[in-house]
Structure 1
Amino acid sequence: MASPDLAATYAALILADEGLEITSEKIVELTTAAGAPVEPIWATLLAKALEGKDIKDMLTNVGAGGASVAVAAAPAAGGAAAAAEEKAEEKKEEEKEESDDDMGFGLFD
C-alpha cells in the first residue's frame, strides 16, 4: 500500500494528466477511492504548492533549470566569458600547486 504522501502525489499527477484543476477536495476524493486515504491538511498543502504550476511542463524539464541558463548565457557573452573562465581555472590550478609549498616540506624530503 502506498504511503499517504505518495498517494497524494499520484492523485495530483492523475488530475494534471486529465487536465483538471488540482484541489485538495479532488486529491482526498481520489486517494479515498484508491483505498489510501490522505488527511485533508496534506492534500491542502500539496494543492497550494502546485497552484498555478504546469505539472506536465515540470515533469518534462526535470533537471534542466540550471544547465539551460548557463548554456544560453555562454553564447550571448561571447569570447569574454570563455577567457574569464579560463583565467579562473588557471588561478585555481596555481593555488593548488602553491598549497604544497605552504607546508614547508615536500612529499619526498
Structure 2
Amino acid sequence: MANAELAATYAALILADDNVEITSEKILALTNAADVELEPIWATLLAKALEGKDVKELLSNVGSGGGGPAVGGGAAPAAAAGGGAAAAPEEKAEEKKEEKEESDDDMGFGLFD
C-alpha cells in the first residue's frame, strides 16, 4: 500500500478510536497534519465506505469468518420461516446430486477414454 493510503486508513482508525464521526474533511485534516498528501477523492471514498459502520466492531471480527457468502440461495428463506434445521440436510443432498450430474463420467466420456 502506498503511504497516502495507509495514512488515510490510520486517520480513520484514529477517528474511530476517539469515537469521532469519520468524514472526508477529518481524514484530510489528520493526513495534512501528518504531512501526507492525500487526494480528496480517496478521503471521500474511504469515508463513504465506512459510513454507518462500527469500525471497532469490524476490527474485532476480522478473523471470525462469519461474513462469508451463503451457499445455496434457497436455504436462507427456509431458515427464516423456521425450517432451518430441515433445510440443511436437503441442501447437502442437493449439492452432492448436482456434483454427480456434472461429472464427465455421466456424459459418456472421461479423462482417459
TM-score by length of 2: 0.66
What is the RMSD computed on CA atoms of the aligned residues? 2.9
Q: What 5-or-longer segments of structure 2 have no aligned partner?
A: none
The 1:83–1:7 alpha-carbon spacing in structure 2 relative to 1, beyond 3 Å, is same
The residue type equivalent to 1:43 in the other structure is A
TM-score by length of 1: 0.68
Whichever structure has more helix as a proportion of its residues is 1
1:58 to 2:58 alignment:
yes
The 1:13–1:91 alpha-carbon spacing in structure 2 relative to 1, beyond 3 Å, is same
Q: Secondary structure at the match of 1:78?
A: helix
Aligned length: 101
The 1:25–1:88 alpha-carbon spacing in structure 2 relative to 1, beyond 3 Å, is closer
Q: What 5-or-longer segments of structure 1 have no aligned partner?
A: none
Q: What's the offset of the Cα at 1:11?
A: 0.5
1:21 to 2:28 alignment:
no
Q: What's the offset of the Cα at 1:53?
A: 1.4
For 1:50 and 1:80, the matched residues in 2 are separated by 35
Larger Rg belongs to: 1
For 1:44 and 1:19, the matched residues in 2 are separated by 19
